[in-house]
Amino acid sequence: MKKEYDFSKMKSRKNPYASRLKKSVTIRLSEDVIKYFKDMAEASGMPYQSLINLYLRDCAKRHRKVDIQWQL
């Protein structure tokens, strides 16, 4: 192995995994929901946004549906 490498002549290329990267979105969540995930995230040692992403991914994978019944 060399002690130093010259990267000045390297050509850049696109990231082949760019299509799999996460997309930034804005979402409004209740404070109690955020607190719930932050508490869980602290206990598990992972960032709360990653925990929310894992939960939503699991819901999507299992094709879970929300059962909403409005009371009149």
Q: Indicate the DSSP class of residue 3.
A: S
DSSP state of 11: P
Greater confidence, 6 or 46?
46
User: Which pLDDT score is estimated for 39?
Assistant: 97
Q: Which of 14-18, 20-24, 60-64 has the highest mean pLDDT?
A: 60-64
Burial bucket for residue 33 (CB in 10 Å: 0-12, 13-18, 19+): exposed
State the Cα–Cα distance between residues 27 and 37, nearest whole angstrom: 14
pLDDT band of 68, cuts 50, 70, 90: confident
Residue 5 pLDDT level (bands cut at 50, 70, 90): confident
Inter-residue contact 44 to 36 (CB < 8 Å) = no
Answer whether residue 19 shows pLDDT above 80. Answer: no
